[in-house]
Chain A
Amino acid sequence: MKKQNNNQLLMTLLKGRTFIVLIILVIFFSFAAKSFLSVATLTMVAKHVALYGILGLGMTFVIITGGIDLSVGSVVGLTGMLAGGMIQEGLTIGSKTLYFSVPSIIVIMCIFGILVGAVNGLIVTKLGVAPFIATLGTMYICRGFANLRSGGATFSKLNGYEALGNTGFKALGSNFLGIPAGVYVFAILAVIAAILLKKVPFGWYVLAVGGNEKSARLSGIKADKIKIFVYMISGFCAAWVGIINTSQLNAAHPASGDGWEMNAIAATVLGGTSMAGGSGTIIGTIVGAFVIGVINDGMTMCGVSEFWQKVIRGLVIILAVVIDQTQRNLQAKMALQARNESK
């Protein structure tokens, strides 16, 4: 009996493990780096967390279906370049050059991100290419186009011109009431994502496709449609990150977002989403994004070298998955125990 109680306690600790890790990290860094618990630092951390977090939201859906989206980092770069280019140079069609207002640029970029996602989804479902390979391909393609857009150059000073009616792009990179605009976007998208996953049938279908695709099809779920849709969500999220990041820097650089897909995957996995598909939560991914953000910025502030940071990040991810496995095994054991007792 006592052993079972121990198990239950361990279970609770394991379930909340990412959150516990987050608290430990914050405490650790607040001692290790004096200025860590300052408003300025926390604002900076939040700014970064929002970017990984938004990517993680889309990634969560994709990974729950058993897929992966490696293209998001490149979509961040490409949408940034396209947005930057539209502000600086406008869109030239024939001899006419059109300039768009900032809100319409945001809408166009979101649509663009969704389209890239749709392409990913179509390659995965209709052409039967493994998600890893399909999105690896689009990752290179998008990065290539990001560089081609400017010949590798940066679009800087994206202030726009009053006369052209495209000012105000910087707003997404600035603070409102002391909180970065990206954090608001993250919060809104997170709420929408949580509703999608928990409160409407779509969420069930996503979990069902990831849990047992064959059964999902037999139940009448259009599994291909669901899969295409999750990549579209991921593309949409990546487009937002592209816009926010460009706005924060007030410049569009073709290498932006390089490797960010890994941060997004790490945040998702840390948050308890299973790479095998079928389970995952939005709140988990949010906490996961905070852990990644705090580790990255915390280590930088402590003066840990970039190289060691990578080593530590890798260890944290492996550790997270190992703990995840332990939890699953324990859960299975407890279920078996409960079953035996009920007999």
Chain B
Amino acid sequence: MYDDPNVVLHCEKIDKIYPGTKALDQVSFDLLRAKVNVLIGENGAGKSTLMKMIAGIEQPSAGKMYMGGEEVSFKDTNAARAKGIGIIHQELSLFPNLTVYQNIFMCHEKKNGLFLNDKKHIEGARKILQRLEHEIPPETLVGDLRVGQQQMVEIARNLIQDDLKVLIMDEPTSSLSAAEVKVLFKIMRELLEQGISIVYISHRLEEIMEIGDHVTILRDGKYVADADVKDIELSWIVENMVGKNTQYHRFERSIDLDHAEKILELKDISLPKKGGGWLLDNVSMNLKKGEVLGVYGLLGAGRSELFECLMGLRPEHTGEVIYNGQKIQIKNVSSQIKKGFALVPEDRQRQGLIQTLDICKNASIASLRKYTSGVFCNDSKESTAVDDSIQKLHIKVADKHLPILSLSGGNQQKVVISKGLLTNPTVLLMDEPSRGIDIGAKTEVFEIIHQLSEEGLSIIVISSELKEIMAIADRIYVLSNGKLTGELVGEEITEDNLVRASYAGLGTGRSAS
């Protein structure tokens, strides 16, 4: 039995296993009463997963949870809510098609007998929004609000619960302006005074130092450390977040990049965000011939959006792109491929592969036009090209007409890379090329990147893994909240510099406007 009056909820050795990955590994966690419990970790460290267990959205594969000395288990969100646990999700979980008051009172309706009492709803919504210092008319459609206001509605939904004991906030400030954050902190302090315990997940380290009471750090699904905020400094957090384990070997370059020509230049690229703010905010960068350029940043920093701009998926972007010394107009994907751009997308399964096609077709699909005789497909031309590619990238394939899913993750990724290479690109964009593949395959992918760049291909790599990007990139740009916050070369490339730059754009931002 676990019974500590200062702990409102205790997690004991929680495991969560998803097919293929262990998202949580024997994590124990104390949720302190009437405190702001901060959870920190890199993307994929398991913070959100742990909170999903506590909120009843998902169930642990193993392990126990205790509240007030009693074991509890939540089969769904209703069960967790019955125990006074509310959650504000990382991704807004609102109904854009309904009004503000309907959103706030959804599943907590006030009724006159059988019928909804909308008068009470509107009144209640107005009151709660007043408390949040956001007097949004309760009859407004939530879809018409800007993101910061929607976030406030999401917060309001949780505050109407009378018996709220624990409030989980998963990155609640990611879309709030500085002023809104201030209001949120004020509300949080009020909640603490009422004895409500808060779990706070955020990437904004300075916020954590301001509002947090106790910090717990997770890494790769494992518990790393915990401490009271008053006892620690920022550098302690960074150190524990990143860890000191895996090291990749750094490649030697034979190309003199200092004198290499610039093949691509971006000037003041901006991309507006739906609902206000910017996904990319006046980003300028350049890429040299034969260079491996790293782009580092946190989730939502605008990394993938940058690639989407370059590939013609975001025609609404503004700014100038100079390619091979000429200003180019980016219209659509196929014209970008023709110009010599190729993308290895972030989500292999959803964006990279066509699962119903075989290995060969997956590799050749982007360049099929090249393997034709007249109007017909020429299988032997296609076959030769794919075979060459398989050999070059060392893809382990018994028969290239097998289903693509018969390959391991690493080999699937190589097929995606070869699809890009078969279009004969001059610039290769790789979005998280090592995601979801094992360590051996990672090293191979890095070797391929190195080899290709030695052959003169210019490559931009996005990665959220510090160690990896430090190993492969010749130069690194850091994006934070859509802004370019750092350009690091050579000796400047250190973990500390990267992490600091990746937080630099947060806090006060244009995102509020």
Asked whether, in the complex, the Cβ of B98 is within 8 Å of the Cβ of A221, the reply is no
The answer to whether A207 has its CB under 8 Å from any CB of chain B is yes
In the complex, chain A residues 183-221 whose Cβ is within 8 Å of any chain B Cβ: 195, 199-201, 203-204, 207-208, 210-212, 214-221
Nearest Cβ in chain B — how far from A343, in angstroms?
Answer: 7
Q: How far is the CA of A233 from the CA of B76 in the complex (A)?
A: 27
Closest to B114 in A: A200
Quick check: is A272 within 8 A (CB to CB) of the other chain? Answer: no
Instruction: Give the chain A neighbours of B94 by CB distance below 8 A.
Output: 212, 215
Report, as a range, how many residues of chain B touch the other chain: 20 to 34
A278 within 8 A of B: yes
Q: What separation, in Å, do the CA atoms of A339 and B81 have in the docked complex?
A: 34
Partner of B116, one of A201, A216, A279: A201
Tell me if B96 is interfacial: C-beta within 8 Å of chain A.
Answer: yes
**Contact residues in B for A218 (Cβ distance below 8 Å):** 57, 77, 89, 93
Q: Is the CB of B95 within 8 A of A212?
A: yes
Quick check: is A335 within 8 A (CB to CB) of the other chain?
yes
1/0 per position for B106-130, CB-CB distance to A under 8 A? 1101010011100000000000000
Taken together as a complex, chains A and B put the C-alpha atoms of A278 and B77 apart, in Å, by: 22
Given contacts A200-B114, A204-B116, A220-B107, contact A212 B96 (CB under 8 A): yes
Contacts of A220 in B (CB 8 A): 76-78, 81, 107
Residues of A within 8 A of B116 (CB): 199-201, 203-204
How long is the Cα–Cα vector from A332 to B93 in the complex, in angstroms? 20
Residues B109 and A204 in contact, CB atoms below 8 Å apart: yes
Give the residues in chain A near B109, CB-CB below 8 Å. Answer: 201, 204
| Interface of chain B residues 310 through 368 with chain A (CB within 8 A) | none
Q: Given the complex of chains A and B, what is the CA–CA distance between A215 and B93 in angstroms? A: 5
Q: Does B144 contact A (CB under 8 A)?
A: yes
Interface presence of B13 (CB below 8 A): no
20 pairs across A/B with beta carbons < 8 Å? A200-B115, A204-B98, A204-B116, A207-B102, A208-B95, A208-B98, A210-B97, A211-B95, A215-B93, A216-B95, A218-B57, A218-B89, A218-B93, A220-B76, A221-B107, A278-B97, A279-B97, A335-B141, A339-B276, A343-B513
Give the residues from 140 to 156 in chain B that come closer than 8 angstroms, CB to CB, to chain A: 141, 143-144, 146
From the candidates A195, A203, A204, A211, name the one contacting B96 in the complex (CB within 8 A): A211
Q: List the 9 closest pairs (A to B, CB-CB), nearest first.
A: A211-B97, A278-B97, A215-B93, A335-B144, A211-B95, A220-B78, A201-B109, A218-B93, A199-B115
Residues 310-343 of A at the B interface (beta carbon under 8 Å): 332, 335, 338-339, 343
Q: Contacts of A216 on B, CB cut-off 8 Å?
A: 95
A201 lies within 8 A of B111 (CB): yes
Query: A207–B94 Cα gap in the complex (Å)?
Result: 12
Separation in Å of the B116 CB from the closest CB of chain A? Answer: 6
Which residue in chain A gives the minimum CB-CB distance to B102?
A: A204
A201 / chain B contacts, CB cutoff of 8 Å: 109, 111, 116
Question: Are A208 and B144 in contact, with the CB atoms below 8 A?
Answer: no
Q: Chain A residues with Cβ under 8 A from B96's Cβ? A: 211-212, 278
Give the chain B neighbours of A335 by CB distance below 8 A. 141, 143-144
A204 in contact with B97 (CB, 8 Å): no
Size bracket, chain A contacts:
20 to 34
CA distance A253 to B277 in the complex (A): 62
The A-contacting residues of B in range 457-513, CB under 8 angstroms, are 513
B97 contacts A219, C-beta separation under 8 Å: no
How far is the CB of A199 from the nearest CB of chain B, in Å? 5
Chain B residue with minimal CB distance to A342? B146
| A207, A332, A339, A343: the one within 8 Å of B98 (CB) | A207
Q: Which residues of B, 67-112, contact A by the 8 Å Cβ criterion?
A: 76-78, 81, 89, 93-98, 102, 106-107, 109, 111
When distances are taken between beta carbons in the complex, the residues of chain A under 8 Å from B76 are 220
Other A-B pairs beyond A220-B81, A335-B141, 7, CB < 8 Å: A199-B116, A208-B106, A212-B93, A215-B94, A217-B77, A220-B78, A278-B96
Instruction: Point out the residues of chain B lying under 8 angstroms from A211, CB to CB.
Output: 95-98
Contacts of A195 in B (CB 8 A): 115
Bound Cα distance A335, B142 (Å): 11
Bound Cα distance from A30 to B487, whole angstroms: 75
Provide the residues of chain A in CB contact with B114, threshold 8 Å.
200
Q: CB-CB < 8 A to B95: which residues of A?
A: 207-208, 211-212, 215-216, 278
Interface residues in A207-252 (C-beta closer than 8 Å to B): 207-208, 210-212, 214-221
Within residues 79 to 120 of chain A, which ones have a CB less than 8 A from any CB in chain B?
A: none
How far apart are the CA atoms of A343 and B107 in the complex, in Å? Answer: 33
Assembled-state Cα–Cα distance A49/B306 (Å)? 54
Closest residue of chain A to B82 (Cβ to Cβ) is A220
Residues of B within 8 A of A278 (CB): 95-97
Closest to A276 in B: B97
Residues of B within 8 A of A215 (CB): 93-95
Q: Which residues on A sit within 8 Å (CB–CB) of B77?
A: 217-220
* Cα A338 to Cα B77 with chains together (Å): 36
CB contacts (< 8 Å) of B107 on chain A: these are 219-221
Q: Hey, which chain B residues are within 8 Å of A200, CB to CB?
A: 114-116
The interface residues of chain A lying within 8 Å CB-to-CB of B57 are 218
In the bound complex, residues from chain B placing their C-beta under 8 Å from that of A343 are: 513
